[in-house]
């Protein structure tokens, strides 16, 4: 009898199911999915953790206090979040990671509620908002990151909070302050979030209010973002005399010198760094990149650089699976590797700009939207997870169609502008950007705009169903 009272729109029912599936994944599937027993701590986790630990113990925020660029390796938001659990758990990182992981599960359950109230505020329709909440409650690409001590879940939470403050109509000035505050914090947790900074500002200026009010609201929002997020680059300049806006991966042993040069070159000649990266690690013959077009001498230079990476690649040797022991001393061949990759990249970009600026970004975009599987599909859970990428692609298209549909109604235009602009800008930046880590296509980098697209996706599904299926059902009933 009690079960019959549960309704599709019951928020406690939705949240309970959301919590249930997240716990089931964590308890029974996460270890097999990630292939490690302690899945709470993974490759990037220690970068945040030890940066906080050094700050606490040595008053220096750095992953390795003896390495110059290590002061900028990790933007500090998530480090402080992890550090709270480190202190709470008696300075035991093993316990802290688990407590943090379970805390993130509850944070993500609250994210379900945020999705619902945002959609309810925008559409004023409980069925649409409930549908959006259900989709996110069962959204596998967020669920898999719940227990892992990475910055995805916390930054998503802060992003959703900022959107909630933005769509609230009452006391707009205060809400815009909180919108700016939470989005700045979110970017201090996950730097890609910063792309939405100007999107909020542009959306404010497109509101149908007086110009004076627009400027006042934009000033409140912009000043808040500048003051909160600006603390990080200000610290970098004042304390270290370097203007680092986001982060610098050169502070990590496996992301220094020749690896960054190799990565930059690969993304000028191919839409991925595989299989070449694995071939270097396993001391195999390295394949010429798909779109590399050079002279015979250029090809010889490239193959020689690949060979040096296999035998003398200091940073390569710090990656898991490297075929020989770590190279702990500086390699005398490092400069020649870096110079070779740098020169070949410049040649590739200058002589074949159409490949670099058009073909490769299109290939990256296809991979970002139409990704079909994980790299490793040895376990059954990984094979099942790979099949779910079709669902992700479908929801992306439904979200885009939902935004287009929303543009046709005045009351939804500004919200549609916000979501579509953020989605398109982030995808454009990651697929076509020229920075060190742009064009590195990982699905988790797209999590935030993809989740926001679930809201217009629910609007499109509801509108489509109401227009076609409800009408058809009414016709059949009348017959």
Q: Would you list the DSSP string of 101-153?
A: HHHHHHHHHHHHHHHHHHHHHHH--HHHHHHHHHHHHT-HHHHTTSSS-SSHH
In this prediction, residues 96-120 reach a mean pLDDT of 98
Residue 472: the pLDDT is 57
Question: Is 339 a member of any domain?
Answer: yes
- Which tens digit of pLDDT belongs to each residue from 31-61? 988 989 899 999 889 999 999 999 999 999 9
User: Are residues 68 and 203 both part of a single domain?
Assistant: yes
Average confidence (pLDDT) over 234-244: 93
Return the closest-CA partner of residue 13 out of 25, 23, 24, 5: 5
341 shares its domain with 382: no
Please check whether residues 312 and 457 belong to one and the same domain: no
Same domain for 113 and 75: yes
How far apart CA 157 and CA 108 sit, in angstroms, is 7
Domain shared by 219 and 286, yes or no: no
Burial of residue 191 (number of CB atoms within 10 Å: 0-12, 13-18, 19+): buried
Q: How far apart are CA 168 and CA 183, in angstroms?
A: 15
Buried b / exposed e across 316-355, counting CB within 10 Å, b at 16+? bbbbeebeeeebeeebebbebbbebbebbbebbbeebeeb
* Residue 105 falls inside a structural domain: yes
- pLDDT bin (cut points 50, 70, 90) of residue 3 is very low
Nearest by Cα to 108 from 26, 212, 3: 26
Of 318, 351, 384, which one is at a domain's C-terminal end?
351
Q: Is residue 362 part of a domain?
A: no
Mean pLDDT of 161-182: 91
> Is 448 in contact with 149 (CB distance < 8 Å)?
no
d(C-alpha 438, C-alpha 436), whole Å: 6
Q: Which of 108-117, 146-155, 315-324 has the lowest mean pLDDT?
A: 315-324
Q: Strand, helix or coil at 446?
A: helix
Residue entry with tokens 């609250």: 110
Residues 38, 171 within the same domain: yes
Q: Is residue 36 part of a domain?
A: yes
Q: What's the mean pLDDT in 234-261?
A: 89
Are 126 and 224 part of one and the same domain?
A: yes
Q: Which domain holds residue 46?
A: 9-242+371-470
pLDDT value for 376: 66
**Mean pLDDT to the nearest integer, 96-107:** 98
Instruction: Note whether 226 and 261 are same-domain residues.
Output: no
Residue 478 lies inside a defined structural domain of this protein: no
Boundary residue ending a domain (289, 318, 351)? 351
**Same domain (yes/no): 85, 190:** yes
- State whether 300 and 162 are in the same domain: no
Instruction: Indicate whether 155 belongs to any domain.
Output: yes
Do residues 331 and 314 touch, judged by C-beta distance below 8 A?
A: yes
What is the number of structural domains in the chain?
Answer: 2
331 and 297 both lie in a single domain? yes
Buried b (16+ CB within 10 A) or exposed e, 83-119: bebbeebeeebeebbbbbbbbbbebbbebbbbbbbbb
Residue 298 has pLDDT above 80, yes or no: yes
Judgement on whether residues 440 and 466 belong to the same structural domain of the protein: yes
Instruction: Quote the mean pLDDT of the chain.
Output: 90
Nearest Cα to Cα of residue 157 among 116, 115, 196, 98: 115
pLDDT reported for residue 178 = 96
321 in any annotated domain: yes
Query: Omega before 275 cis (within 30°)?
Result: yes
Residue 305: name the closest of 352, 271, 257 by CA: 257
| Within-domain flag for 193 | yes
CB distance 220 to 173 below 8 Å = yes
């Amino acid at each position: 009898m009690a079960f019959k009272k549960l309704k599709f729109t019951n928020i406690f029912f939705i949240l309970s199911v959301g919590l249930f599936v997240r716990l089931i994944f964590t308890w029974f599937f996460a270890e097999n999915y990630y292939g490690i027993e302690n899945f709470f701590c993974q490759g990037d986790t220690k970068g945040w953790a030890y940066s906080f630990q050094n700050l606490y113990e040595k008053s220096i925020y750095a992953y390795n206090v003896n390495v110059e660029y290590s002061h900028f390796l990790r933007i500090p938001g998530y480090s402080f979040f992890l550090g709270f659990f480190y202190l709470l758990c008696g300075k035991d990182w093993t316990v802290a990671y688990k407590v943090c992981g379970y805390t993130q599960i509850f944070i993500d359950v609250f994210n379900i509620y945020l999705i619902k109230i945002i959609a309810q505020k925008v559409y004023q329709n409980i069925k649409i908002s409930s549908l959006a909440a259900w989709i996110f409650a069962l959204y596998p690409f967020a669920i898999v990151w719940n227990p892992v001590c990475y910055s995805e879940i916390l930054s998503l939470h802060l992003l959703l909070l900022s959107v909630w403050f933005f769509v609230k109509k009452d006391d707009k000035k205060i809400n815009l302050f909180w919108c700016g505050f939470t989005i700045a914090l979110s970017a201090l947790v996950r730097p890609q979030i910063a792309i939405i900074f100007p999107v909020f500002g542009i959306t404010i200026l497109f509101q149908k209010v007086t110009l004076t009010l627009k400027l006042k609201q934009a000033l409140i929002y912009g000043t808040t973002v500048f003051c909160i997020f600006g603390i990080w680059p200000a610290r970098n300049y004042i304390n270290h005399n370097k203007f680092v806006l986001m982060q610098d991966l050169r502070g990590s042993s496996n992301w220094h010198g020749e690896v960054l040069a190799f990565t930059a070159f690969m993304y000028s000649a191919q839409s991925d760094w595989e299989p070449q990266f694995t071939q270097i690690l396993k001391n195999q013959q390295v394949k010429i990149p798909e779109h590399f077009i050079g002279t015979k001498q250029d090809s010889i230079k490239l193959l020689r650089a690949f060979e040096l990476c296999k035998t003398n690649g200091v940073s390569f040797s710090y990656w898991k699976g490297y075929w020989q022991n770590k190279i702990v001393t500086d390699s005398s061949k490092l400069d020649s590797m870096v110079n070779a990759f740098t020169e070949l990249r410049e040649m590739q970009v200058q002589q074949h700009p159409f490949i670099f600026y058009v073909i490769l970004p299109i290939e990256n975009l296809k991979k970002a939207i139409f990704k079909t599987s994980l790299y490793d599909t040895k376990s059954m859970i990984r094979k099942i997870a790979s099949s779910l990428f079709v669902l992700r692609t479908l929801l992306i298209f439904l979200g885009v169609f939902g935004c287009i549909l929303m543009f046709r109604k005045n009351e939804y235009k500004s919200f549609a502008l916000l979501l579509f602009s953020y989605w398109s800008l982030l995808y454009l930046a990651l697929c076509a950007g020229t920075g060190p880590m742009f064009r590195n296509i990982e699905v988790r980098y797209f999590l935030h705009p993809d989740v926001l697209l679930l809201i217009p996706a629910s609007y499109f599904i509801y509108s489509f169903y109401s227009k076609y299926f409800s009408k058809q059902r009414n016709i059949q009933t009348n017959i």
